[in-house]
Amino acid sequence: MGLEDRVALVTGASRGMGRAIALKLAGLGCMVAVNYVAIDDQNRLDADNVVETIMGMGGEAFSVEADVRDGEAVKAMVQGVVDRWGKVSILVNNAGITRDTLLLRMSEDAWDDVLDVNLRGTYLCSKFALKSMIREGWGRVISIASIAGVIGNAGQTNYAASKGGIIAFTKSLAREVGSRNITANAVAPGFIKTSMTEQLSEEIKNSILSMTSLRRAGEPGDVAELVAFLASDAAGYITGQVIGIDGGM
């Protein structure tokens, strides 16, 4: 797939979809920077485990702590990757959170937290990683959006707004950097089995699954396969797109 010797930075890569994406890209030959935020010791241990797994596969990886909301931290993270491997070829904007509740009950903090991590984080990571891609004359920016950003979802006005913003951001970015041989695409997952979705009640899970054509949840590996394709030379003429991976929701 043309990914040998590419350098990938995956945000929020300590678990769930980010972990699956990091492992998939490493398996295809990428050197992978595994980003995590130091919420607790477990998050750090999870990130280290991803790195150890990649190293055990014969790949190259290291973990890097940075809060994607913090511009200086993101700048230092990207520079750290460049210092280690000379470039950033592929950026996967995966870090994201939810603070679900109906709008009338939603606090300003719940709104700000979700927009800051999901949308501001995508902006900051893309901004700093692009400098290396422009210098190299090749790059991939792949941002994890959501089906909620396409069709909306009750109780997730903040989350849907952040993911819809990522979609608009991606389409605009694709127009800005296409002439530099850099593509920008968004992936819009539906119901994927992660620690985030496991917190939902069985009633809500069944309700969501009933809306899918396949009548089942997706796996993090399903998303990783799509991201790997978009990162590859095979997807070199695909940019500014939002690709759903939702089981036919």
What is the tens place of the pLDDT at every residue in 164-197? 999 999 999 999 999 999 999 999 999 998 877 7
State the pLDDT at residue 201. 73
Q: Look up the pTM and report it.
A: 0.95
- Helix intervals (H) in 57-156: 71-85, 108-115, 121-136, 148-151
Task: Output the CA–CA distances (angstroms, integers) from residue 183 to 1, 33, 138, 166, 186, in the order listed.
Answer: 16, 20, 8, 15, 10
State the pLDDT at residue 95. 98
Give the span between the Cα atoms of 8 and 117, in whole angstroms: 20
Asked if the model's pLDDT at residue 19 lies above 90, the reply is: yes
Residues 6+ apart with CB under 8 A from 111: 99, 158
State the pLDDT at residue 119. 98
Q: Across the chain, what does the average pLDDT equal?
A: 95
Give the span between the Cα atoms of 18 and 95, in whole angstroms: 8
Asked if the model's pLDDT at residue 39 lies above 90, the reply is: no
Asked if the model's pLDDT at residue 126 lies above 90, the reply is: yes
State the pLDDT at residue 194. 83
Tell me: the pLDDT tens digits for 191-229? 998 877 777 778 777 888 888 999 889 999 999 999 999
| Helix (H) or strand (E) run with residue 63 in it | strand 61-65
Give the span between the Cα atoms of 123 and 136, in whole angstroms: 20
Q: Which domains does the chain have, with CATH numbers?
A: 7-242 (3.40.50.720)
Mean pLDDT across 136-157: 96
User: Is 123 among the residues known to form the active site?
Assistant: no
